[in-house]
A and B are shown apart, each in its own frame.
Chain A
Amino acid sequence: MPWYEILPIAMLLCMALFIFTGFPVALVLGGLGLAFGIIGIMVGEFRVAHFNALPLRIYAGSVENIILVAIPMFIFMGTMLEKSGIAEDLLYTLQLLTRRLPGGLAISVTLLGTILAATTGIIGASVVLLTLMALPEMLKRGYDARLATGTIASSGTLGILIPPSIMLVLMADQLSVPVGVLFIGALMPGLLLAVLYVAYIMTKAALQPEHAPPMDRGDGPTGINLSAMVIKTFIPPVFLIVLVLGSIFAGWATPTEASGIGAIGATLLALFNRRLSYAVLKDVCYRAAATNAMIFGIFVGATCFSLVFKRLGGDYLIEELINSLGVGPWGVLAMIMIVVFLLGFFLDWIEITLIVLPIFAPVIDSLDFGGHVADPAMMLPWFAVLLAVNLQTSFLTPPFGFALFYMKGAAASVKIQEIYRGIIPFVALQVIGLLLCILFPEIVTWLPARVLE
């Protein structure tokens, strides 16, 4: 191997080195692209003229792209929804509904996380919100701190997997598969995880009631009053879910159109709940704009990085490296899943989706699993959903799980060791969910086949 062929590898190593300095990832990527371009020019592997393609790549990849318009809209919708106050009302109602079940409060947190996930594509402050809302209540009731924090962290992050999800929009763009197919395909795996969480909580609460004491029977309204309350608090989220997911599933609207309608729907909900004021609208716009620019900053930086990386022969090198392992498609699948799982300990979904996925994309495209996935056209969507389920763990795995990080800030009374230990069963459940989706691709492919007939 000539010495300059190690340039792409040096590039990856430098990236790892520099993003761990804590400098913004988006800016490290762009800067390193330029730096290695210059090194490439000096050793004759890159030409000055190759940089000329950069503005057009950025423009065509991130601006002139109607699919990506869904991302700002979903971010706006999610940010607005946090302000609309529907989460608080929902949690109280769910608590009343589940009070007879073992671990009722924990189950209502999981259900709330799932419903919120189906109305929004980001998680942002929702883990903080759930922590501040539900954790004090759970601890007051005598819940085991590990069960309480594990439930909140895992449920609060379902939003990134259950459609609509900005992660799925970006994955669809990277792998050139329709967003709608990924949305529909990710629904069952997302619900599967929620069901696994609930089953675990119920079993745990039944076996060790002292870890999850039930609510007093006498609290709160019953009968007609309760039904009225249920209807009143469930209408807003159901309205949004029907509006956004319903119109995508029924084929009435593209994901981009649904995202715009959802943004308006969330604003109307805030208006009806009397939460919308000029100050709130301004705050939502500023906050959503910063989140949006953060994501597209990385998108653009990754464009610069991968332009140089590919010119230096990086993707060819990766492909050759993987082929030379001679492990076959299942070996490659296992390898990518393990790499993504391990990277999830240090990075979160944004970096993995925008940096790691493009590197693996050509390899994934050429994999052949025979008849494991019945419809060959569903191979890539299946793989993307597997990655999505896998990335769900990146929020929860210490030392740098996004959810844990936020929870540590929001729950001063709970020791970090407790949070780490509380998360273990839930990460295990996610790995079980991932394995089920790998072994039974129908979990992913069944619904799209029915809906898209």
Chain B
Amino acid sequence: MRALLSISDGLAAVTDAVGRLAAWLFLPMALVILYDVLQRKLLNVYPEFQQTALYQFLPSTKAQELEWHLHGFLFMLCLGFTYIRNGHVRVEFLRENFSQRRRAWIEIFGCLLFVLPYTLLVVDLSASQLVWNSFLMNEGSSATTGLPMRWIIKSSLVIGFGFLAIAALSILLRNIVFLFGPGELRSLANRYVKGDEIDDLKHEVEEELARDAAAHAEIRDRGDHRPNGRQD
């Protein structure tokens, strides 16, 4: 049982790391959008910008295609990460009153009957049809100045659903340990049956507000200590 829990932890750690890495894609995405807007304005007043090396490297078509390339990787690579962090929305209406054991059973059946078949089907079909065909055809953008090699973005489906399957495997093992493992492991394995996300959120916001109050008090204090304070 301890070994199962270690495997579960290992799978979760890998999935989580991939998601944390992908989460940073927000930043290049925002910057590429900003670049696209600015270069369009710039072209209006300074048409020669088209001749610069920067524009040659990243013309508007490429920038816009890059935006949804980044978007695709961002959400696909975070599907498993979100499941590991219990972020996929659940209908809590009845679940609130379920015992932890019943929640664990539901999670096990869900992973076995829904998630694993679904993710493996998408991984298999995406790899064998979508990515492979695109690679064979050497498919690129339909626009002449667009991005080449569509198989790269298409493989985000294979990778993303692959990690969602790994996340499901991790959660499956964890809940098996919770149900059948010895008492001392159960508290380590109950991550997906507790249902106290609201409390977590509340604590976070409370800490935040406390920090704010402290910051405000500090500013006020500083004002008071100044010789002629207040006016500035």
Whether A362 sits at the interface, judged by CB under 8 Å, is no
Contact with B along A63-78 (1 / 0, CB 8 A): 1111011001100100
Whether A304 sits at the interface, judged by CB under 8 Å, is yes
Report the minimal beta-carbon distance from B45 to chain A, rounded to whole angstroms: 15
Whether A59 sits at the interface, judged by CB under 8 Å, is yes
Kindly specify which of A157-165, A188-196, A402-410 makes contact with the partner chain.
Answer: A402-410
CB contact under 8 A between A56 and B130, given known A22-B95, A27-B110: yes
Interface positions, chain B 1-33, Cβ under 8 Å from A, are 19-20, 22-24, 26-27, 29-33
Report the minimal beta-carbon distance from A25 to chain B, rounded to whole angstroms: 6
Which residues from chain B contact A28 at a C-beta distance below 8 Å?
110, 114
Q: Are A21 and B106 in contact (CB under 8 A)?
A: yes
Report the minimal beta-carbon distance from A284 to chain B, rounded to whole angstroms: 8
Which residues from chain B contact A58 at a C-beta distance below 8 Å?
122, 126, 157
Cα distance A405–B87 when bound, in Å?
16
Q: Please give the number of chain B residues whose Cβ is less than 8 angstroms from any Cβ of chain A in the complex.
A: 72
Cα distance A410–B200 when bound, in Å?
10
Whether B206 sits at the interface, judged by CB under 8 Å, is yes
Q: Which of B33, B119, B157, B204 contacts A259 (CB 8 A)?
A: B33
- At the interface, is chain B mostly helix, strand, loop or mixed? helix
Question: Number of residue pairs across A and B with beta carbons under 8 Å?
Answer: 238
Report the minimal beta-carbon distance from A179 to chain B, rounded to whole angstroms: 15
Q: Are A293 and B82 in contact (CB under 8 A)?
A: yes
Contact with A along B50-76 (1 / 0, CB 8 A): 000000000000001001100110111
Closest to A221 in B: B230
Q: Are B209 and A132 in contact (CB under 8 A)?
A: yes
Q: Are A35 and B113 in contact (CB under 8 A)?
A: yes
Kindly specify which of A109-117, A260-268, A435-443 makes contact with the partner chain.
Answer: A260-268
Contact with B along A382-406 (1 / 0, CB 8 A): 0000000000000000011000011
Cα distance A68–B68 when bound, in Å?
8
Q: Which of B34, B37, B78 contacts A292 (CB 8 A)?
A: B78
Q: Which of A52, A133, A291 contacts B125 (CB 8 A)?
A: A52
Whether B93 sits at the interface, judged by CB under 8 Å, is yes
Interface positions, chain B 111-161, Cβ under 8 Å from A, are 113-115, 117-119, 121-122, 125-126, 129-130, 153-154, 156-157
Which residues from chain B contact A68 at a C-beta distance below 8 Å?
68, 71
Cα distance A161–B20 when bound, in Å?
30
Cα distance A298–B119 when bound, in Å?
14
Closest to A409 in B: B198
Report the minimal beta-carbon distance from A249 to chain B, rounded to whole angstroms: 16
Which residues from chain B contact A296 at a C-beta distance below 8 Å?
75-76, 79
CB contact under 8 A between A19 and B34, given known A256-B67, A409-B198: no
Cα distance A18–B94 when bound, in Å?
11
Whether A220 sits at the interface, judged by CB under 8 Å, is no
Q: Are B117 and A31 in contact (CB under 8 A)?
A: yes
Whether A294 sits at the interface, judged by CB under 8 Å, is yes
Whether A199 sits at the interface, judged by CB under 8 Å, is no
CB contact under 8 A between A257 and B91, given known A34-B121, A125-B201, A293-B75: no
Q: Are B118 and A31 in contact (CB under 8 A)?
A: yes
Q: Are A25 and B89 in contact (CB under 8 A)?
A: yes
Which residues from chain B contact A257 at a C-beta distance below 8 Å?
33, 36-37
Whether A23 sits at the interface, judged by CB under 8 Å, is yes
* Sample (5) of A-B pairs whose CB atoms are under 8 Å apart: A59-B126, A62-B75, A285-B23, A288-B23, A289-B74
Q: Which 3 A-B pairs have the closest CB atoms?
A: A31-B114, A260-B33, A22-B95
In addition to A63-B156, A285-B26, 7 A-B residue pairs with Cβ atoms within 8 Å of each other are A22-B91, A54-B125, A55-B154, A62-B75, A128-B205, A290-B85, A347-B91
Q: Which residues of B contact A (CB under 8 A)?
A: 19-20, 22-24, 26-27, 29-34, 36-37, 64, 67-68, 71-72, 74-76, 78-79, 81-83, 85, 87-95, 98, 103, 106-107, 110, 113-115, 117-119, 121-122, 125-126, 129-130, 153-154, 156-157, 168, 198-199, 201-202, 204-206, 208-209, 212, 215-216
Q: Which residues of A contact B (CB under 8 A)?
A: 18-28, 30-35, 51-52, 54-56, 58-59, 62-66, 68-69, 72-73, 76, 83, 85, 88, 125, 128-129, 132-133, 253, 256-257, 259-261, 263-264, 267, 285-286, 288-294, 296-298, 300, 304, 346-348, 350-351, 399-400, 405-406, 408-410
